[in-house]
Structure 1
């Protein structure tokens, strides 16, 4: 009975994280535009941060509550889930599609680089503040690139002199309320993970790499599917790749600045190997700028194998 209760609490908290992050992003965007902040600045920050907000907040609370092993489980689990499940399901839904050259030449190499950086910085079992600063630097460099790309895509809209929306005080209330829900949802998500780990007698990093990772990856996956169905396959792929880069650089960096992160032995082995394997696999199958249903099916099979092997470790 206690197990069912905490599973329910975890599910409710994950739902609260996802929905409150959506309201937070929407309100922040409206306020920013109303105050005259350039659209490309709002766009690049919200796209990068918005869909990964649940992962970021749960990681921060994990470090604060002295359960830093949850952070690496969440980051690795989310990134593997995004690639195997998120990118695997796209061609099965919309069929064969091609990818822009800049995604192959820039985003994918950065994704690979971020995965290898995580592997290198975590190999000794601890992620220090110096390594966190290095990751923050990598994130700032990526944000610079993303800002330039976003500016190019939005130049036409800016030239069209889009009218600034009228400021509505209600959005301040939405922002405050969504922040409160984000705070409590993240706090009790970590509490639920700890309780479930104690009841089932497994490591908290396993739950964070599976259930938590799947729950917090849903915004990226849903956003990608919506973009793909609208014909914007590059945005669909870019959303997932950008989220993975954000997870590796920003989440590890921010969490690591709060305090050193303990890397469980199982994550140093199986987890990091799967992160590298997922990144390399998607890199090579996308070199021809094409994603097929067969490749999507293969990625989904690897996701199932990842989950099976993850729980076999215990």
Structure 2
């Protein structure tokens, strides 16, 4: 039975991630067909779409009475985004170049969101009022982002000057490239769009439900906490698409891998993926998440922001990120 539920977990997670892609792509096309501004679509659907699997699984966890999974999922996903994805990308590419806008806008917002999240977590629970606070913080973040970037012109590549005078070409983030694509390719409504929208919604619901159900069964069989599975397997699983994209870019010698998706995804995870479920039911925070996950989240976020200030993430920094992630997993498993 254990093997059966592990298989269900893998299949459910795959369905969850793929359904999110279907939902986002269909929503983009419907928005364009309804003459909604491509910029608005870009900063809403495109920017937050990569976090839909985390949100769906978190809501399912709360509805199944396993609220401790939510915060573990958020923290695990954010740690994996930074230490695993950025670390592996830096090692593969040998150097990552960071856009100035990420340092001027996204890095401070990520630091502020993480700080708020930590403050709220100190009593080891997130209640309704705190969920409202997180959502209000996201509204401020969203409006500020729109205000700052409403005049932004997306180009295939940007030339920037690093400290020291060196000029570099920096590719826009995946979200930015997608915004450019949807701006250039107006959409017309057809049956296929609505079909994949419906399939995406159904897939998200089914995938999230069985992902959480399998986590509960696996934890029961192995006699381990559900938070341990959430902070590791679910977090890494929902981050796999971004990991694959980043590694592929590195292998193709596209050294200028942009990091905008990581900043945006981590902010969304903190403010929305934790905020919305807290409106349904208070979120519990177990010892593993609080004593191990939280300190590593702080370390990962600080390293990411500090590395970004230099606008370069070197191969040795990427290796350090990966070593810290391994240390994180080892600590979770209580091997030292």
1:164 Cα offset (Å): 3.1
Structure 2: 5+ residue stretches without partners: 156-178
1:238 to 245, 252, 260: 260
Task: Answer yes or no: is 1:107 the counterpart of 2:106.
Answer: yes
In structure 2, what is the equivalent of residue 89 of structure 1? 88
Superimposed CA distance per residue, residues 29-88 of structure 1 (whole angstroms, 9 cap, x where no aligned partner): 111111111101111112332100000000001111110000011000000000100111
Q: Is the 8 A contact 1:49 1:246 kept in 2?
A: yes
Structure 2 residue aligned with 1:312: 334
CA distance in 2, matches of 1:40, 1:222: 26
Aligned to 2:3: 4
Look up the match of 1:48. Answer: 47
1:145 deviates by: 2.9
The answer to whether the Cα contact below 8 Å between 2:228 and 2:288 also exists between their aligned partners in 1 is no
- Structure 1 range deviating more: 163-172 or 144-153: 144-153
What is the CA distance between 1:233 and its match in structure 2? 4.0
The 1:77–1:162 alpha-carbon spacing in structure 2 relative to 1, beyond 3 Å, is closer
Q: TM-score, normalised by structure 2?
A: 0.86
Q: Tell me which residue corresponds to 1:209.
A: 231
2:303 to 265, 281, 290: 281
The 2-side partners of 1:255 and 1:199 are apart by 26
- 1:264-313 CA distance string (max 9 Å, x none): 12222211111111111222222211111111111011111111111117
In 2, distance between residues paired with 1:211 and 1:182? 18
1:67 match: secondary structure: coil
Say whether residues 1:248 and 2:270 are aligned partners: yes
What is the aligned partner in structure 2 of residue 130 from structure 1? 129
1:196 aligns to 2:195 (yes or no): no
Q: Distance in 1 between matches of 2:269 and 2:294?
A: 14
Q: Say whether the 8 Å CA contact 2:96–2:255 is kept in structure 1.
A: no
Q: Distance in 1 between matches of 2:196 and 2:18?
A: 12
Distance 2:76 2:2 in 1: 22
Specify the alignment match of 1:116 in structure 2.
115
**Shift of residue 227 of structure 1?**
6.3
Looking at structure 1, the residues matched to 10 and 312 of structure 2 have their Cα atoms a distance apart, in angstroms, of 36
> Displacement, 1:89?
1.5
The Cα shift of 1:94 comes to 2.3
Q: More displaced, 44-53 or 202-211?
A: 44-53
Structure number with higher helix proportion: 1
Name the structure 2 match of 1:61: 60
- Structure 1 residue 224 displacement after superposition: 4.1
Cα distance change on mapping 1:227 and 1:50 into 2, 3 Å: farther
5+ residue gaps in structure 1?
A: none
Distance change >3 Å, CA 25–CA 64, structure 1 → 2: same
Confirm or deny: 8 A CA contact 2:97 2:255 kept in the other structure: no
> Counterparts of 1:43 and 1:227 in 2: how far apart (Å)?
22
* Partners of 1:217 and 1:129 in 2: CA distance: 27
| Change over 3 Å in CA distance of 1:233–1:111 after alignment to 2 | farther
SS of equivalent residue, structure 2 residue 274: helix
User: Structure 2 vs 1, CA of residues 213 and 155 (structure 1 numbering), >3 Å: closer, same or farther?
Assistant: closer
The 8 Å contact of residues 224 and 237 in structure 1, kept in 2 or not, is answered as no
Coordinate RMSD, CA, aligned: 2.2
Q: Conserved in 2, the CA contact under 8 Å of 1:30 and 1:165? A: yes
